[in-house]
């Protein structure tokens, strides 16, 4: 069991590393060959100002922090899509609320085997946990133990089954949580670098260098915008997925409580 957990962790870490490396390469290529295309600038030269209302050129003028921010944004979007698919799969075929109500009804009626069939048809993390608990329900019925011990055994199975499924649900959420801070800090760093360039242009003797001044201000504003936008999207995605996971756990707890209560009510020992 421990070896399987270690192998899963390695696979997840490897997948995360590959995604970050690929998005970093894509971000660099996009920065130089899409946003930095000479046609986006006056005189077909990256050294000049961007064409009026050409946002690709404006983003390119954001400087060396822009590729990092683009990478962070791509990582955020990639893992948001991955978590959406994974959590949707974990919910199963039917809505979790309807599935839990159906299981509660069949457990109350004593149709445990039918409830197990429903779990097989439902699939997903919630169904896996409930199926494991129902099997334990049938096992303790045949065992010669005190009623309290049987109830404790069922409750322990709920906790263990949930603990096995929970890491898969929360996988990569820490990345989304980290991005909310990293994107803001990278945006702030780009803003500071841009302001340094702008003030350097103002400090020139004689007339200020208008191109360098404009580039510095553009760099500051572009990095600020990209950093805030990425952090905002990551925050929304993180809160959305944690809310859905909480609903799944609540459904598991509700079904587990119903199973334990039904066993306690129907069995004297």
Rounded Cα gap, residues 123 and 259, in angstroms: 19
Q: What pLDDT is attached to residue 209? A: 65
pLDDT at 13: 65
Residue 81 has a pLDDT of: 95
DSSP state of 144: -
- Of 32, 90, 22, 83, nearest in space to 57 by CA: 32
Q: Which pLDDT belongs to residue 208?
A: 61
pLDDT at residue 198 in the model: 79
pLDDT at 163: 86
Candidates 169, 191, 171, 187; CA nearest to 72 is 187
Contact 40, 15 (CB under 8 A): no
Give the pTM: 0.84
- Predicted local confidence at residue 262, as pLDDT: 83
pLDDT, residue 218, reads 77
Q: Mean pLDDT by 10-residue block, N- to C-terminus, for the chain (269 residues)?
A: 48 78 95 93 86 88 91 95 92 88 87 89 90 89 80 88 86 91 93 83 64 74 92 96 92 86 76
What pLDDT sits at residue 189? 93
């Amino acid at each position: 069991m421990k070896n399987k957990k270690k192998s899963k962790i390695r696979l997840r870490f490897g997948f995360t590393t590959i995604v970050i490396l690929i998005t970093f390469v894509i971000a660099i290529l996009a920065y130089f060959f899409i946003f930095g295309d000479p046609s986006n600038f006056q005189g077909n030269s990256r050294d000049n100002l961007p064409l009026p209302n050409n946002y690709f050129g404006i983003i390119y003028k954001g400087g060396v922090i822009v590729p990092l921010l683009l990478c962070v944004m791509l990582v955020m979007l990639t893992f948001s899509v991955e978590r959406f698919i994974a959590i949707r799969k974990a919910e199963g075929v039917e809505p979790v609320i309807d599935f839990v109500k159906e299981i509660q009804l069949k457990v109350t009626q004593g149709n445990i085997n039918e409830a197990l069939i429903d779990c097989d048809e439902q699939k997903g993390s919630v169904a896996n946990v409930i199926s494991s608990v129902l099997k334990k329900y049938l096992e303790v019925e045949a065992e010669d133990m005190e009623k309290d011990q049987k109830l404790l055994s069922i409750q322990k199975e709920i906790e263990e089954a949930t603990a096995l499924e929970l890491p898969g649900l929360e996988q990569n959420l820490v990345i989304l949580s980290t991005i909310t801070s990293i994107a803001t800090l990278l945006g702030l760093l780009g803003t500071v670098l841009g302001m340094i360039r702008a003030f350097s242009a103002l400090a020139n003797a004689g007339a200020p260098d208008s191109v360098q001044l404009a580039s510095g201000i553009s760099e500051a504003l572009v990095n600020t915008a990209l950093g805030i936008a990425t952090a905002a999207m990551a925050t929304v995605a993180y809160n959305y997925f944690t809310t859905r996971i909480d609903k799944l756990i609540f459904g598991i707890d509700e079904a587990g409580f119903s199973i334990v209560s039904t066993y306690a009510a129907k069995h004297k020992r």
